[in-house]
Structure 1
Amino acid sequence: MGVTWTLRAVTLPGLGPEVLARTVQGRLDAVVAEMSTWEPFSHISAFNRAPAGAWLDLPEGFARVMACALEVAALGQGAFDPTLGRLTDLWGFGPAGPVQAPPPSALIEEALASAGWRRLEFDARQGRLRQPGGLALDLSGIAKGFGIDLAARALLRLGVRHFLLEVGGELRGEGLKPDGLPWWVALERLEGEAAGHTPVVLALCGQSVATSGDYRRYMIHKGQRLAHTLDPRTGTPSERGVACVNVLHGEAMVADAWCTLLSVLGAEAGLELCAAHGVAARFLVHTKKGLEERLSPAFQALLDD
């Protein structure tokens, strides 16, 4: 995944750091083996190479991620799309490595024509997916969150009830710290936030928080920063003025996917969708006066408690 992970846990007899490390790393390695486009022998790479009309059986985890990805794609009417693999490569954010300039519009249009989540046929009952021809999946906007959930469930099965797991900046907390207090997590402050702005601190107990922002991965072209979050409707980096989105949810996979979706939708449309579905989200939006914070009703309710 190209990221590090950390775990803080209240251990049990016979469950030392080495056992917990193997447990977490093993689950993350499994996600990479199934859903990393950087791995030529992964299941997702096999699907992307498959001929038109081929059905591929998916591992259980892969199938769960696809089901969630397609559900979020439908909710966002295509603002989240797991089929942007070719566009990701064109913009230099995929395994092929960075590029020096935006791709020509003709190549963007060609990649868009081969993409589209509605082109997929997903047999949820049988756990299989049909390659329509020329379509390249990219699950980077959701798979890391699933890896966190997978590792967290493995820790719980071991009997570890109190822990804070972080993978690439996304976190999941369970139980309490040894002192009886929650796992408190402060959301990252960005350059441009008002100096007197009160930091947002969340208590993670059976909850996950994911973050997406234009300051993490981007390219600079002619003095302009182009974020790695691509708008599936245009094939270009999102231009909705969103500096950062934080989403709090019981499943890290869902929080991860919604972060990507909301970065593309922008604050106005994104907050409407969050309100309709009870999603707790926080936006930091670029304005002429700096970064402005906007909260969904569910997120505001957490701060009011």
Structure 2
Amino acid sequence: MLTPLLITALMAQTTPQPAESGDAVRVERHLAVMGTDLTIEVDGTDRPGALGASEAALRAIEAAEARLSTWTPNSELSRLNRAPVGQAFELSPALAGELEAARRWSEACAGAFEPVCASLVRAWDLRGVGRVPTAAELAAARDAVGPEAIAVAGADRSATRLHAEAGFEEGGFGKGAGLDAALAALAESGAHGARLDLGGQMAWFGAAERRLLVADPDQRARPVVALALPADTVSAATSGNSERPRDAAGIVRGHLLDPRSGRPARDFGSITVVTSSGIGALAADVLSTGFFVLGPDAALAAAERLDGVDVLVLERARTGADLQLRCSSGLVGRFERIDSPPESSTTAPVIDPQRGDPPSSDPPRSDPPRSDPPRSDPPSSGSPP
């Protein structure tokens, strides 16, 4: 879930780092945005250019948050969710494209992902302390779920709420939308390569090395799989149901809901979705959620039907503590199981099921406004050695 548009520099600096080729410069920045942490690494020919590219990527994510966050009352999506029933709401080109993409990729999930599900989030109080709705409450909430509850007309760039309780929930596609916007900004900036980590969802651009570690579904600080991905990989997102489990009526429940039943999805472990060029980060965001709801077997089968999409499944064994690893054909030979991070992989980011899918319960941040990182940087010492 996205939070109000409060951006804070966690480290008021950009750090020059050695890049991987020639005399190039790497700029690394650590910030807070969309209710989570953001790391941007950009490789360029010089520090000002790399710094400018990183700022363009950040501004693109900020703009996506301002457009999509339903924690922010005046965001475009919040205003759509409050529009009078039956009255067409004009969409900006950016939001129209994001809603169309979320709908298109939801269709690949056989109903296991649904962006119009705000009524279910409210029924389970996922933004509060959590509760178990009554059968009548759940039935009423399900009536306001799906494309029948909000009609989106792509040609007219408009959306019309058809049910008083209907609303979009951006938690399953917002980070991906922000990363896609950042990648587009980087493409225009002249950067050689970039790596972005937005709350555990990864995105890459250009010549950046594609590798990461996947965490144990139950121990987010413990990497268990090392992945070396193809050069055309764009994004990787992991979903699991161990994020902020809800102890409601004595039953531990996860935050990922199955829109087909309105109930929490079965917790089996985690699913990591990897997408290649032409597919994008929003697709990885949507599919990681929808495929988790589908379950391991259906997710693996669905991935084989989609070009540019691969899946890694970590599934708890029925007996014992071991994890079973399965993957789609495109990841065969590209991962290894590890007990601890190998020395060669210590710089690889860890993607975990908690941060890989933003929970609907993330509270608004209380961070102070962001200082402009480029203006607060320490003086440059020149290109790193």
1:23/1:154 contact within 8 Å kept: yes
How many residues end up aligned between the 2 structures?
Answer: 294
With normalisation by structure 2, the TM-score equals 0.70
Determine whether 1:262 maps to 2:291.
yes
Q: Report the Cα distance in structure 2 between the residues aligned to 1:242 and 1:153, rounded to whole angstroms.
A: 35
1:141/1:260 contact within 8 Å kept: yes
Q: Report the Cα distance in structure 1 between the residues aligned to 2:224 and 2:78, rounded to whole angstroms.
A: 44
**Aligned pair partner of 1:91 in 124, 133, 157:** 124
Matches within 5 A, 1:198-277: 199-203=225-229, 205-206=231-232, 207-221=234-248, 224-239=251-266, 241-250=267-276, 251-277=280-306
Secondary structure of 1:15's aligned partner = helix
1:173/1:183 contact within 8 Å kept: yes
Q: Which amino acid aligns with 1:295?
A: C
Q: CA deviation at 1:295?
A: 1.2
Q: Report the Cα distance in structure 1 between the residues aligned to 2:332 and 2:87, rounded to whole angstroms.
A: 47
1:165/1:173 contact within 8 Å kept: yes
1:4/1:168 contact within 8 Å kept: yes
Q: Which runs of 5+ in 1 are unaligned?
A: none
Q: CA deviation at 1:233?
A: 1.0
Task: Provide the residue aligned with 1:152 in structure 2.
Answer: 183
Q: Report the Cα distance in structure 1 between the residues aligned to 2:171 and 2:105, rounded to whole angstroms.
A: 14
Higher helix share: 1
Determine whether 1:50 maps to 2:116.
no
Q: Which amino acid aligns with 2:85?
A: A
Q: Which amino acid aligns with 2:242?
A: Y
Q: CA deviation at 1:299?
A: 2.6
The alignment's C-alpha RMSD in Å is 2.5
1:48/1:136 contact within 8 Å kept: yes
1:242/1:283 contact within 8 Å kept: no
Q: Quick one: structure 1 residues 154 and 265, their matched pair in 2 at CA, closer, same or farther if it must change by over 3 Å?
A: same
Secondary structure of 1:114's aligned partner = coil
Q: Report the Cα distance in structure 1 between the residues aligned to 2:50 and 2:249, rounded to whole angstroms.
A: 48
Determine whether 1:143 maps to 2:169.
no
Q: Report the Cα distance in structure 1 between the residues aligned to 2:250 and 2:281, rounded to whole angstroms.
A: 34
2:102/2:282 contact within 8 Å kept: no
Q: Deviations over 1:38-83 (max 9, x none)?
A: 0101111111111111111212221122112211232323211111
Q: Which amino acid aligns with 2:204?
A: G
**Aligned pair partner of 1:298 in 325, 330, 335:** 330
Identical-residue share of aligned pairs (%): 25
Q: Quick one: structure 1 residues 244 and 33, their matched pair in 2 at CA, closer, same or farther if it must change by over 3 Å?
A: same
Of 152-161 and 22-31, deviating more is 22-31
Matches within 5 A, 1:110-121: 110-121=140-151
Q: Report the Cα distance in structure 1 between the residues aligned to 2:125 and 2:231, rounded to whole angstroms.
A: 37
Q: CA deviation at 1:192?
A: 7.7
Task: Provide the residue aligned with 1:109 in structure 2.
Answer: 139
With normalisation by structure 1, the TM-score equals 0.87
| Structure whose alpha-carbon radius of gyration is higher | 2
